[in-house]
Every structure is written in structure tokens, then in C-alpha cells.
């Protein structure tokens, strides 16, 4: 299928107001699109379903499912985009001073709660609103594809829910049969041409909170757990600290939904202790995150290994070796398109060492990850 035909199919589906998702996995070339054949709203009940899931930040029971059984899958292998189109938003609205003041104020409040011993870490966020000049989501999606080859790049739409796009650097979990890997990603610095940098205690501590939380919360549901050393990874104009946790799922007494409830939201998007951090976020951020810092991706896909070529394929082949995979990503570096506006969501982890002014600047840097394609 040519690039032109692929996006013509997507545009026609979008104009018919039918649900779809189009995405490319990190460091891969193939773009997949899952086109639902009705506008029905499905939910993932116990996560034994097969399809693409989109889950909000604060309620896994409201995870939306695009079920494979009610869809057509199309793919594109040779995407090419010159990225010469004009910008699609107006940046006439500067960040309002009161928005900066509010974010600094809640960061100060968060640091105060941490120093009192109520919290150890909390992730606080905000959103920016920019007017769209060109509201076509596929123009933005193409630019995300060209700009962020290392991220999970997607455009998701359901007429009863909304339209989201993003280029997230963070994997929540990958499962192949029962083998899993989980990413612990936290800490942020601006990329200035080199990745061999010195991390401060604040960022090191922040990333360690995430690693410790994940290993502690999932240890009763896994075997052969292993944690890698932390490393620096680049995402757009930012650098982060990452470690990887691997092992084998032991789902005899717990199902995948229960396991994900233990895992998500991690301290990378919520805080420690999780219940107190989540309560602080919902009380103080003064807006609804919706699907920002939720998760999305493939659930229980059947993949086939070809004996001769050794490649994976979604198509059913009687002679191939079948396995089941789940690949879920944290919804970061994302935006929602609504009422001819782009709503850009950004946040950062707060610890006792946080500087409120520096935390504000970090959200400005993260917003630029998305605004550079707009």
C-alpha cells in the first residue's frame, strides 16, 4: 500500500466518524492502523480481550478497547514525509503568568507535603491550550513520525471520547507469552548535544523511587525478577534516566488487569505512596488529566513467527509458531485535539529537593517536544 492510499483510507474513516488508531512502535518502520467498523464504545473488562486499549490516568475500569474482532487492520512499510508543511497551530497565546504562578504554587505545596513526611514523591502536571490553524490530525501525526523515531507515535480517535496524539518515550510493560519487561523512566535534563552527562541527586532519587515501587509492587506476581543498571536515554530534546525490570509473570492467583492495577500508575506519573500522591494530584491540579499519564497499546495480539523468514506477522498462518504479546505505553508527550484547539499536557516529578522554578522550566521544555511539530 502506498503512503497516499494509506492516509486516504484513514482520512475517509475519520470523516465517517468511526473509531481508529494508527501507530508506529519505537525504532520500527511499519505503521499499523486498526479501523473499527462501527461507532460502538467497547471497554476492556478483564484484559483477556484482543485489541488496542486506551486507559485513563485514574480509572483502569474505564479502559477503552478497539477490539480486533470488529476491525480491519492495514499497514504501511515505506512511509516517507518531507516535513515541509507549514505549522498547524497559532502560538499567539503566550503562557499566561497566572498559569506559571499556579504551577509553581502547587509544586511548593507538594514539596511542603513531602517535607512533612506525607509524601515522598508526587508528579504534578498542567496543560497548555493553543489554537489550531490546520485541524487535520494526520498532518500532525506525520510530523510526529518524522521527528520522533525512538518513541511510540500514535493517533487515536473515538467519536464518543475524543482525539489524541502523542510520541511517548515510556513503555509501561511488554509481555511475550509470560515473559515481561517494565521500564522505570524518570528524571529529566535538556539535551545539549551529548548524552554522557552528570545526573543530580534529585533526578537519581526520583528514578530510584520508580524502580523500587515497581519491583516491590509486582514481586509477588512474578518470578526470576531482574533489574538493570540505570542509563541515560534521549527523547526529542530531553534526556531521562531509565532502568529495565524483567522476569516471568506468575498469573496463577492474579489476572492481567489486577497486575496492571498494581503497576499503574507508577511513581513516574503519580507518586509515592501512590494513594496519597493520587489524592493530592486530583485535589490540587485543578483540571482533569483524562488519558494523559494513562496507558495505551496492543493487548493480547497473536503474533506469528515464520519458520523460514524468522519475522513476526499479524496475519494468521497455519504453519507458523503462534505466541501472544501485549505492548503497553505510558501516555506522555501527548496532546488532545478538541474544538479546534491543541491541548498539550506536561508534568514533572517533585521530591524534597525540587526547585519550583526549575520544575516549571522542565514543563516548558517538555511542552516543546510536542510544539516543535506544530
The whole-angstrom separation of Cα 218 and Cα 258 is: 10
**Contact present, 194 and 234 (Cβ < 8 Å):** no
Asked if the model's pLDDT at residue 88 lies above 80, the reply is no
Residue-level pLDDT at 285: 95
Which phi and psi (to 5°) does residue 165 adopt? -135, 155
326 compared with 89, residue with greater pLDDT: 326
Residue 214 DSSP code: H
What's the pTM value of the predicted model, to 2 decimals? 0.89
* pLDDT tens figures, 334-370: 999 999 899 999 999 999 999 999 999 999 988 888 8
The whole-angstrom separation of Cα 44 and Cα 49 is: 7
Residue-level pLDDT at 129: 92
Q: Read off the pLDDT of each residue in 183-205 and give the average, rounded to a whole number.
A: 87
The whole-angstrom separation of Cα 60 and Cα 124 is: 20
Residue-level pLDDT at 318: 56
Asked if the model's pLDDT at residue 311 lies above 60, the reply is no
H or E stretch including 366?
A: helix 356-371
List alpha helices for 25-150, DSSP H: 97-115, 137-147
Pairing of strands 222-227, 341-350: unpaired
Q: What percent of the chain has pLDDT over 90?
A: 67
The whole-angstrom separation of Cα 307 and Cα 69 is: 26
Asked if the model's pLDDT at residue 233 lies above 50, the reply is yes
Residue 281 DSSP code: H
Q: If we measure between CA atoms, which residue out of 372, 286, 292 comes closest to residue 335? A: 292
Q: Is 4 helix (H, G, I), strand (E, B) or coil?
A: helix
- Average pLDDT of the chain to the nearest whole number: 89
Q: Assign 92 a pLDDT band (cuts: 50, 70, 90).
A: very low
**Contact present, 23 and 145 (Cβ < 8 Å):** no
H or E stretch including 218?
A: helix 201-218
Which residues, at least 6 apart from 109, have a Cβ–Cβ distance to it below 8 Å? 284
Q: Is 3 helix (H, G, I), strand (E, B) or coil?
A: helix
Q: If we measure between CA atoms, which residue out of 65, 150, 122, 76 comes closest to residue 281? A: 122
* pLDDT tens figures, 93-129: 555 788 899 999 999 999 999 999 999 999 999 999 9
The whole-angstrom separation of Cα 316 and Cα 306 is: 11
The whole-angstrom separation of Cα 260 and Cα 291 is: 16
The whole-angstrom separation of Cα 34 and Cα 51 is: 9
Q: Assign 84 a pLDDT band (cuts: 50, 70, 90).
A: low
Look up residue 164 and give its three cell numbers. 489524541
326 compared with 193, residue with greater pLDDT: 326
**Contact present, 54 and 93 (Cβ < 8 Å):** no
150 compared with 39, residue with greater pLDDT: 39
Residue-level pLDDT at 54: 98
**Contact present, 88 and 132 (Cβ < 8 Å):** yes
Asked if the model's pLDDT at residue 195 lies above 50, the reply is yes
Residue whose grid cell is 485535539: 337
Q: How many angstroms from the chain centroid is the CA of residue 372?
A: 18
The whole-angstrom separation of Cα 373 and Cα 301 is: 31
Look up residue 343 and give its three cell numbers. 491541548
Domains present along the chain, CATH in parentheses? 3-81+89-371 (3.60.120.10)
Look up residue 280 and give its three cell numbers. 493530592
Amino acid at each position: 500500500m502506498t503512503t497516499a492510499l494509506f492516509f486516504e483510507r484513514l482520512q475517509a474513516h475519520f470523516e465517517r466518524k468511526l473509531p481508529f488508531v494508527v501507530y508506529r512502535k519505537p525504532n520500527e518502520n511499519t505503521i499499523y492502523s486498526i479501523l473499527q467498523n462501527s461507532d460502538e464504545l467497547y471497554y476492556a473488562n478483564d484484559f483477556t480481550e484482543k485489541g488496542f486499549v486506551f486507559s485513563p490516568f485514574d480509572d483502569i475500569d474505564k479502559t477503552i478497547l478497539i477490539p480486533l474482532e470488529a476491525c480491519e487492520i492495514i499497514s504501511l512499510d515505506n512511509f516517507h514525509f518531507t516535513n515541509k508543511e507549514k505549522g498547524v497551530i497559532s502560538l499567539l497565546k503566550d503562557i499566561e503568568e497566572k498559569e506559571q504562578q499556579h504551577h509553581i504554587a502547587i509544586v511548593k505545596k507538594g514539596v511542603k507535603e513531602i517535607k512533612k513526611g506525607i509524601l515522598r514523591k508526587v508528579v504534578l502536571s498542567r496543560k497548555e491550550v493553543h489554537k489550531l490553524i490546520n485541524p487535520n490530525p494526520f498532518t500532525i501525526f506525520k510530523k510526529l513520525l518524522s521527528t520522533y523515531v525512538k518513541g511510540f507515535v500514535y493517533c487515536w480517535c473515538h467519536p464518543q471520547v475524543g482525539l489524541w496524539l502523542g510520541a511517548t518515550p515510556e513503555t509501561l510493560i511488554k509481555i511475550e507469552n509470560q515473559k515481561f519487561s517494565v521500564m522505570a523512566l524518570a528524571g529529566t535534563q535538556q539535551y545539549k548535544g551529548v548524552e554522557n552527562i552528570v545526573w543530580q541527586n534529585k533526578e537519581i532519587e526520583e528514578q530510584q523511587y520508580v524502580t523500587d515501587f515497581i519491583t516491590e509492587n509486582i514481586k509477588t506476581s512474578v518470578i526470576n525478577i531482574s533489574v538493570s543498571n540505570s542509563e541515560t536515554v534521549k527523547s526529542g530534546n530531553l534526556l531521562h534516566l531509565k532502568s529495565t525490570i524483567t522476569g516471568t509473570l506468575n498469573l496463577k492467583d492474579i489476572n492481567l488487569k489486577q497486575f496492571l492495577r498494581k503497576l499503574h500508575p507508577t511513581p513516574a506519573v503519580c507518586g509515592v505512596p501512590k494513594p496519597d500522591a493520587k489524592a493530592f494530584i486530583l485535589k490540587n491540579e485543578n483540571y482533569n488529566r483524562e488519558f494523559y499519564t494513562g496507558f495505551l497499546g496492543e493487548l493480547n495480539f497473536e503474533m506469528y513467527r515464520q519458520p523460514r523468514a524468522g519475522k513476526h506477522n499479524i496475519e494468521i498462518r497455519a504453519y507458523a509458531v503462534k505466541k501472544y504479546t501485549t505492548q503497553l505505553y505510558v501516555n506522555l508527550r501527548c496532546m488532545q485535539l478538541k474544538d479546534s484547539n491543541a491541548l498539550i499536557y506536561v508534568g514533572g516529578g517533585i521530591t524534597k529537593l525540587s526547585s519550583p522554578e526549575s520544575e516549571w522550566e522542565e514543563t516548558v521544555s517538555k511542552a516543546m517536544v510536542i510544539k516543535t511539530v506544530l
